[in-house]
């Protein structure tokens, strides 16, 4: 009788242990699952992000960038305007002198050929970002390396006539994203990456007097720029006037 009682207690104990393990696994999965897209997203931009620097008209200029094709990285036009020797550095610590092969002062975007620098590209999102979309901005600091700054899209808008380009000339910027994010001036050229690990925009400005508001070039404008450039070496453009 005692043996049968102990046997039943042992079965009950084993069932309780099994149930506890199953419950623990379920809770871990439920709590961790919202982070999985973010982790995947960060892995994508971690591979593609670069730091851009150089001297323009006697002043040091720097910003972030990211690879969109093998051997081709993008950054903001004002980061490389006036820079004769563009230094492109990967997160692995490797650096090359890049060649400017695309430059649009109106959209504020530039393309740099980086022969010999192993930087896997990140893909553009097939769809534009809309209000409430979120993800991470992959900014690259020359001392701190890659940092992730969360963003939240406030709205996607078209910026038309009488906007100013990097030379203070009137222009039509095109589509941009107004985002809520803690960005700084040195983050120009950084990629906005969605939860699928795809680029939806590129940082080009931070709102003055509003620490948590920034602006990014929309993915359609990035795609349009890539379709327009012939990827031949360009002469050094003038320094920006702002």
Cα 119–chain centre separation: 14
pLDDT for 11-46, tens place per residue? Answer: 665 565 555 544 543 443 333 334 444 566 688 888
User: CB–CB of 231/101 below 8 Å?
Assistant: yes
Average pLDDT of the residues in 110-115: 97
For 97, other C-beta atoms within 10 Å of its C-beta total 15
Q: What is the pLDDT of residues 62-110, one digit of tens each?
A: 999 999 999 999 999 999 999 999 999 999 889 999 999 999 999 999 9
pTM exceeds 0.85 for this model: no
Tokens 């890659």 belong to which residue? 146
Tell me: the pLDDT tens digits for 207-242?
Answer: 877 778 999 999 999 999 999 999 999 999 999 986
Using 50, 70 and 90 to split pLDDT, how confident is the model at 158?
Answer: very high
Residue 193 CA to residue 138 CA, distance in Å, equals 8
Q: CB under 8 Å to 34, separation ≥6 — which residues? A: none
Domains of the chain: 134-218 (2.40.10.10)
pLDDT for 42: 83
């Amino acid at each position: 009788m005692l043996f049968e009682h102990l046997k039943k207690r042992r079965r009950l104990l084993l069932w309780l242990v099994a149930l506890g393990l199953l419950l623990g696994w379920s809770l871990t999965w439920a709590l961790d699952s919202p982070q999985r897209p973010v982790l995947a997203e960060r892995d994508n931009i971690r591979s593609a992000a670069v730091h851009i620097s150089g001297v323009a008209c006697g002043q040091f200029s720097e910003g972030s960038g990211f690879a969109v094709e093998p051997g081709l990285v993008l950054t903001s036009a004002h980061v490389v305007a006036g820079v004769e020797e563009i230094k492109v550095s990967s997160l692995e610590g490797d650096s090359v002198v890049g060649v400017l092969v695309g430059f649009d002062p109106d959209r504020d975007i530039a393309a740099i050929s980086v022969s010999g620098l192993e930087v896997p590209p990140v893909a553009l999102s097939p769809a534009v970002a809309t209000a409430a979309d979120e993800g991470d901005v992959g900014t690259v600091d020359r001392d701190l390396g890659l940092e992730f700054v969360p963003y939240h899209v406030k709205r996607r808008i078209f910026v038309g006539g009488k906007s100013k380009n990097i030379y203070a000339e009137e222009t039509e910027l095109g589509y941009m994203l107004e985002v809520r994010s803690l960005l700084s001036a040195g983050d120009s050229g950084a990629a906005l990456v969605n939860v699928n690990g795809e680029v939806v925009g590129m940082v080009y400005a931070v709102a003055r007097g509003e620490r948590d508001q920034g602006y990014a070039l929309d993915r359609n404008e990035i795609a349009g720029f890539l379709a327009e450039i012939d990827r031949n070496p360009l002469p050094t453009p003038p320094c920006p006037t702002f």
